[in-house]
Amino acid sequence: MRKAVLVVDVGTESVRAALVDEEGGILALESRGLKFFSPSPGWAEQSPEEWFSAACACMQGVLGKGAGVEILALGVSAQMHAVVPVDQDGRLLLPRVPIWCDKRSSEICKRIHEILPPEEQIDRTANLLIPNWLAPKMHWIREHFPEVYAKTSLFLTAKDYLNFRFTGAQYIDFSEASGSFLFSWRRRTWDTDLVKLFAIDGEKLPPIVPSSSVVGGLKKDVATPLSLPEGLPVVCGAGDMLCLLLGGGMVEKGRSCDVTGTAADVSVYLAEPLLSPRLMNLHHAVDGWISFGILDSGGGSMKWLRDALYTFRGQPVSYAWIDEEAKATPPGAEGLLFFPYLLGERLFGSPWARGVFFGILPQHHRGHFARAVMEGVCFDLKMSLEEIERLMGQPLQEIHAIGGGAKSALWCQIKADIYEKPVVTLRETEGGIMGAAMLAFSGVTGEAVPSLGKRWLHVERKFAPTPEHQAVYRKQYALFREFHDLFQVAFERYRKEA
């Protein structure tokens, strides 16, 4: 009988479930959309109960297609940095919770910055404090919902909330803990001084375990409706970014990756983090660290473009249609620049940064705007790429492209041209599912994740930089960097007026 693992992947726009066999083949895949709420500027919320119900519906769908398959384990990947408070009986204390792109704790971060110098922040956690991390969100709940904070037994993340619903066990893995701003990167444990600084009770933080750990067995109330055996091993899993990187080939140190999902990032896998105020660092789902720069609205900018300019009679066109119009536009979009900050910036600018098209002329049509969005995302990520190479002291040789954006051959070519390096895509594009499946298989079979990666992952296509495009892209990138810094004054004024 063919052996497989069942995987759940919770993103921002959807929840998916899949069956993945022991050779890395995806046997079945189901998806359900999610609602997103932004009740105030800078707020971003979702419903944990919807994550769970959608996950169960997706699992039901794929299991109906999995006849003759032996399920070895359940593994989970989920969006990072959500804060889910539960009481001592495991009851959810907020119907909607702040997720990864929520910026409501910006003022709390400012107060902490006045107490804790940037150098010490990086030395302790490998990161600067930003609103995306768990700690400022927890403190915001303490300040604004004291009754919720008082009842909170544990703060869980999206992945760990699902694992709790599946097993009754409450843990966090190293990838999510390292994104809390409460984690000592050198000691690989909670930093008690930082926990006190944020006025958080240490007992509200769950124990930290490796991502491939079996955290418990599937509870009867979940197993029975799915026709799964009670006690099926549930593997902890990791944050979606780290699972996506595993599935994108980041199974050997020194490799680099471009991920374009709702957010977008460029990263490198190293033994230790690169300490810089311009980069962020997360513990990988295996040993080692991922140093990266991130844009909260990468693929999200393309979705906005499609909704705003490519929707007719309520129906959006395909992304392939958008690609064709962008492809018919010259490189550099005839001077049109896009600054992709629909959800603000993390490190190179302000959380109050906003999206901007700059340089609009009469000859610009819809295709120019589409190409400018693709190029603008790449220009932003190139700033992080240059910082990574500066700290490494050597250039990266090639970049693996994964995520939804990797399905666009045009966008991959634009990345190769702007980054001035080969960009490689893989045969299997469902990186997050593949990464979570590697962790699940490793957790129950003992096979090392790098070994699984070598067996499962295969190159599909390589995009080489186009020499004749370098001049225009170097010029546009120089303008992008200059105007990016000039806009910061305008964004600060906008914040005050807003």
Average pLDDT score over residue span 483-489: 95
Average pLDDT score over residue span 426-445: 94
Q: 399-402 and 423-426 as β-strands: parallel, antiparallel, unpaired?
A: parallel
Average pLDDT score over residue span 431-451: 96
364 by Cβ neighbours in 10 Å (0-12 / 13-18 / 19+) ranks as middle
The answer to whether the pTM exceeds 0.85 is: yes
Helix/strand/coil for 131: coil
Sign of the CA dihedral running 293, 299, 300, 302 = positive
Residues belonging to the chain: 498
pLDDT in tens, 417-426: 999 999 999 9
| pLDDT band of 373, cuts 50, 70, 90 | very high
pLDDT in tens, 145-194: 999 999 999 999 999 999 999 999 999 999 999 999 999 999 999 999 99
CATH code for the part of the protein at 2-248: 3.30.420.40
Nearest by Cα to 273 from 367, 188, 343: 188
pLDDT in tens, 117-135: 999 999 999 999 999 999 9
| pLDDT band of 352, cuts 50, 70, 90 | confident
Q: Tell me the CA distances in angstroms from 364 to 313, 329, 335, 356, 367, one per residue in order.
A: 24, 9, 9, 15, 8
Share of residues in the chain with pLDDT > 90 (%): 92
| pLDDT band of 200, cuts 50, 70, 90 | very high
pLDDT for residue 261? 83
Nearest by Cα to 256 from 299, 298, 292, 281: 292
Lowest average pLDDT, out of 207-211, 250-254, 321-325, goes to 250-254
pLDDT for residue 384? 96
pLDDT for residue 446? 96
| pLDDT band of 197, cuts 50, 70, 90 | very high
